[in-house]
Amino acid sequence: MDVSARIEAVYAQIVHRNPGESEFHQAAREVLPALAPVLGAHPEYLEARIVERLCEPERQLVFRVPWVDDDGEVQVNRGFRVEFNSALGPYKGGLRFHPSVDLGIVKFLGFEQIFKNALTGLAIGGGKGGADFDPKGRSDGEVMRFCQSFMTELHRHLGEHTDVPAGDIGVGAREIGYLFGQYKRLTNRFEAGVLTGKPVAWGGSPARTEATGYGTVHFAQEMLRTRKRDFDGLTVVVSGSGNVALYAIEKVHSLGGRVVACSDSSGHVVDPDGVDLALLKEIKEVRRQRISAYADAKPSAVFSGRGSVFELPCEVALPCATQNELTEQSAIALVKNGVMAVAEGANMPCTPAAIEIFREADVLFGPGKAANAGGVATSALEMQQNASRERWTFAQTEARLAAVMTEVHTLCRATADRYGCSPDDYALGANAAGFVRVAEAMAAQGVV
């Protein structure tokens, strides 16, 4: 069986074993063809069935999460943790609390996490988790009781040398605090390294909050430099207005770019004067209001509940909201309006058709597993600080983050070139480079 046929057989097996999990199927379909040149050069990986083993999680946890709301009513949610691969280190990946979460979503995120974590060069494996719980509109007491119930089951599977979750959509400092408190209560240990994304006051890392957004912009800046450009004077659009989007906007502005649009699930705002970040943070992080409140407070801004930020003229687009938000139609509009670079701040926000359009138009495209690796890289740096009982300064941590993102960018280009592709093919470079690091470790550790 040749390499292409073997890859198709693996994909068919994934679809058969994981019926209805379309996001996981999509993630596998994006990764597997990129591995063909690697497998052709390393037949020993085929013989050891590295790809087949890599695509099957080491452990999949599904559990009930019962809790009591403020009205005294019992609620029941479903929790998940997919511990996908530990060849390079303990499972590492966030927890997502959102109504859309199911096993397929968690599996797709965990699969992507394997390659993303490997690209950082740090000793972390891949995993992901979450629940179909929606923290929006819930009181602090309800969120606390849910988190305590969730951790009561999950804690037996965690540990700083086993599995280290962090935050994701719907899981911020508040939720991490409640989760950690329950873990500490159940285990009778202040094991700071078991969760990352903690507040700095009790074991968190400076720059962790900013890391994913900052890292995405660092990666985009490196891509632009290959064409002798940078963010200075460029017009940028950012989807989302959560943690990743906010700090991507902040970093773009610090580099001289101008973000003219951002969004949330209700619509988007356009501000030709440039997004007022202080106002946006006030609305989203303090008032917890919809994005339309920004336009109400800023005369130069316009809110729209229709269309997309990606229909606006820009040189750089940063999709930072959720999976499959940037469609083929959006990609066509971006290319028509002169976009030069797209870097994924979210996980798999661009559809396969959109990515193909960018490739055909010679638009620089940074896949999420490379472009947004700064968040998990800084989580690993938080683990280092916890293990050594040290606290770095913001400047120290950001410098390490920038260095990691530069190294990831260099590795992607070098790997694509090594396997006979254009160095601008960041998608192939990221997939191949991450795979090689994991495959080497799996081969060395035997059939486990």
Question: Can you tell me the distance from the alpha carbon of 183 to that of 433, in angstroms, rounded to the nearest whole number?
Answer: 35
Distance (Å) of CA 184 to CA 81, 97, 167, 198, 205? 19, 21, 18, 14, 19
At 288, is the pLDDT very low, low, confident or very high (cuts 50, 70, 90)?
confident
Tokens of 138: 């819930």
Using the predicted structure, report yes or no on whether residue 61 has a pLDDT greater than 80: yes
**pLDDT tens profile 185-226:** 999 999 999 999 999 999 999 999 999 999 999 999 999 999
**Among this protein's residues, is 128 annotated catalytic?**
yes
Active-site position among 92, 107, 116, 128:
128
**pLDDT tens profile 77-91:** 999 999 999 999 999
Question: Can you tell me the distance from the alpha carbon of 146 to that of 366, in angstroms, rounded to the nearest whole number?
Answer: 36
Q: In the predicted model, what is the mean pLDDT of residues 361-389?
A: 96
**pLDDT tens profile 119-153:** 999 999 999 999 999 999 999 999 999 999 999 99
Residue in 164, 174, 189 with CA at minimum distance from that of residue 88? 164
SS (H, E, C) 20-40: CCHHHHHHHHHHHHHHHHHHH
> Under the phi-then-psi rule, with left for phi > 0, alpha for psi from -120 to 50, and beta for the rest, what region is 435?
alpha
State the average pLDDT for the chain.
96
Cβ neighbors of 231 (< 8 A, separation 6 or more) are 217, 220, 221, 224, 252, 255, 256, 257, 316
At 1, is the pLDDT very low, low, confident or very high (cuts 50, 70, 90)?
low
Radius of gyration for the alpha carbons in the chain, expressed in angstroms and rounded = 21
